[in-house]
Amino acid sequence: MARNPLKDQLAVVGIGSTPYGRDLQRSHLSLGLEAAIAAIRDAGIDKNEIDGICGSGMTPLAQGGSGFLSLQGALGIDEITWGKNSWLGSCFVYAAETVFSGLSDMCLVVQTYVRDPGMSRSAHADPFRRNLTKFGDIGGDIGGSDFAKRWVHSGEPYAGWMRRYMHDYGVNKDAFAYLAVNSRSHGARNPAAVMQQPITLDDYHASRQIWEPMQMLDMDVPVDCAEAFVITTAERARDMTDKPVLIHAMSLGGTRVGEFYENSLPWTENAFWVTLKGLWARSELKLDDIDLFFPYDGYTIDGVGVTEAAGYCKPGECGDFFKDNWDEARQVLRLNGKCEVMTHGGGLGMGRAGGANYFSEAVRQMRGQEGARQIARVPEAALIAIGSFFHDPCAVVLRT
């Protein structure tokens, strides 16, 4: 086993979520503040106990590199000893690292999203949303006509990977379909989800094609939302809650190709395989111990990659594996007879939060707080994997 001195030494003690919506007419900062305040209250601490902030790195919270400072000022936090802008799963990992290192004792992570023109074609007609993009750090015009530079939220390279996966392994789109239906089935049971209508496998295959072979139902749903977490030491957490959710192991992997989305790496050498390998090398838990699984579903091909990289099945076998682990009555995946997948609906059902809502859902489920959606046996371990084939892939195991 690789060295893992932070094993079970950190804990998530506060979580906060905003409503999810397609047109909330709110700014990044407004959403971020709501989630942050909720997480601080959930932790039961004074705001000035927060001494580290990791801000969402693909929104105006990070404009000019000062996103966490804007959030700090808006919250009225007098002093912090550490701050950073980041995005996707790396936000969570960086915050955990800084608490373990001692640069921060109580770190706040905030990730925000809005449905702006860089993410949603329908947002182009809304002056409010055009303004959000104008002052943001992403936009639909990045790279212009140069495909090699059009890497921000562009589906073309993922469609290419879908076709390559199907070609190389001689498979159809069943793996993608099962993942999409699973997320929408769980989303339909989640009052917070924007996509309340469940779909069938037939609905998936009949959905509109965007980039061949990618279809509309292969892509997550742009929304307005924010998620926030408070991370501290396990020792401090034991004085704050009777059931802390511990960070057991984590990894932030990457490959030698990171700046562009086109590359010739083999399927089993993309960044998900790197980060999952790093995770399992540091974890005392194995797949059989996992009760909750959150494979990134920004595009369904991501979720397929995570599932195979995690070791649930061999490369190219995800479609058959999902079919064998399909709960027909509930229209969801239940891996190896016990492990629930994306119980809140993920990006495909609840809405795009860059995977941040995976952490909040996992913590609530592990606390037994999800009410009618609570899985029958309160989970003791969750595997979360977020990111891209090309950048920022993180993998985290949480445990009670």
3-state secondary structure the chain: CCCCCCCCCEEEEEEEECCCECCCCCCHHHHHHHHHHHHHHHHCCCHHHCCEEEEECCCHHHHHHCHHHHHHHHHCCCCCCEEEEECCCHHHHHHHHHHHHCCCCEEEEEEEECCCCCCCHHHHHCHHHHHHHHCCCCCCCCCCCCHHHCCCCCCHHHHHHHHHHHHHHCCCCHHHHHHHHHHHHHHHCCCCCCCCCCCCHHHHHHCCEEECCEEHHHECCCCEEEEEEEEEEHHHHHCCCCCCEEEEEEEECCCCCCCCCCCCCCHHHCHHHHHHHHHHCCCCCCHHHCCEEEECCCEHHHHHHHHHHHCCCCCCCHHHHHHHCEECCCCEEEECCCEEECCCCHHHHCCCCCCHHHHHHHHHHHHCCCHHHCCCCCCCEEEEEECCCCCCCEEEEEEC
The CA dihedral of 171, 174, 179, 184, to the nearest 10 degrees, is 160
Q: What is the C-alpha to C-alpha distance for residues 308 and 319, in angstroms, rounded to an integer? A: 10
**CB–CB of 249/212 below 8 Å?**
no
What is the arithmetic mean of pLDDT over 275-284?
Answer: 96
What is the arithmetic mean of pLDDT over 200-229?
Answer: 94
More confident residue, 23 or 232: 232
What is the model's pLDDT at position 55? 81
Q: Exposed e or buried b for every residue in 296-320, given b needs 16+ CB within 10 A?
A: bbbbbbbbbbbbbbbebbebbbbbe
Q: What are the tens digits of pLDDT across the range 31-52?
A: 999 999 999 999 999 999 999 9
More confident residue, 145 or 179: 179
What is the model's pLDDT at position 263? 60
What is the model's pLDDT at position 119? 58
What is the arithmetic mean of pLDDT over 75-102?
Answer: 90
Q: How does the average pLDDT of the chain come out, rounded?
A: 87
* Lowest mean pLDDT across 7-16, 210-219, 251-260: 251-260
Q: What is the C-alpha to C-alpha distance for residues 187 and 306, in angstroms, rounded to an integer? A: 20
Q: Which residues contact 243 (CB under 8 A, 6 or more apart)?
A: 366, 367, 400
What is the model's pLDDT at position 4? 92
What is the model's pLDDT at position 326? 98
More confident residue, 142 or 73: 73
Q: CA geometry: angle at 94 spanning 88 and 95, to 5°?
A: 105
What is the model's pLDDT at position 200? 97
Q: Which residues contact 114 (CB under 8 A, 6 or more apart)?
A: 26, 27, 28, 31, 59, 129, 132, 224
Q: What is the C-alpha to C-alpha distance for residues 4 and 133, in angstroms, rounded to an integer? A: 41
Comparing C-alpha atoms, which of 318, 316, 344, 347 is closest to residue 332? 344
Indicate if the pLDDT at residue 299 is higher than 70: yes
Q: What are the tens digits of pLDDT across the range 121-171?
A: 555 455 555 555 443 444 444 445 544 444 445 677 889 899 999 999 999
* Lowest mean pLDDT across 28-42, 243-257, 308-322, 338-352: 243-257
C-alpha separations of 337 from 170, 288, 309, 327, 347 in Å: 27, 10, 20, 9, 24
Listing from the earlier edge strand, what are the strands of the sheet with 394-399?
82-86, 52-56, 106-113, 225-233, 10-17, 245-252, 394-399, 381-386, 292-295, 339-341, 332-335, 326-327
Q: What are the tens digits of pLDDT across the range 371-400?
A: 999 998 899 999 999 988 877 789 999 999
Q: What are the tens digits of pLDDT across the range 333-357?
A: 999 999 999 999 999 999 999 899 9
pTM above 0.85, yes or no: yes
Q: What is the C-alpha to C-alpha distance for residues 373 and 111, in angstroms, rounded to an integer? A: 24
Specify whether the backbone of 21 is left (phi greater than 0), alpha (psi in -120 to 50) or beta: beta
N-terminal to C-terminal alpha carbon distance within the chain: 21
What is the arithmetic mean of pLDDT over 179-184?
Answer: 98
Residue 82: pLDDT band with limits 50, 70, 90: very high
- Quote the percentage of the chain above a pLDDT of 90: 68
**CB–CB of 16/34 below 8 Å?**
yes
* Lowest mean pLDDT across 121-135, 245-259, 316-330, 332-346: 121-135
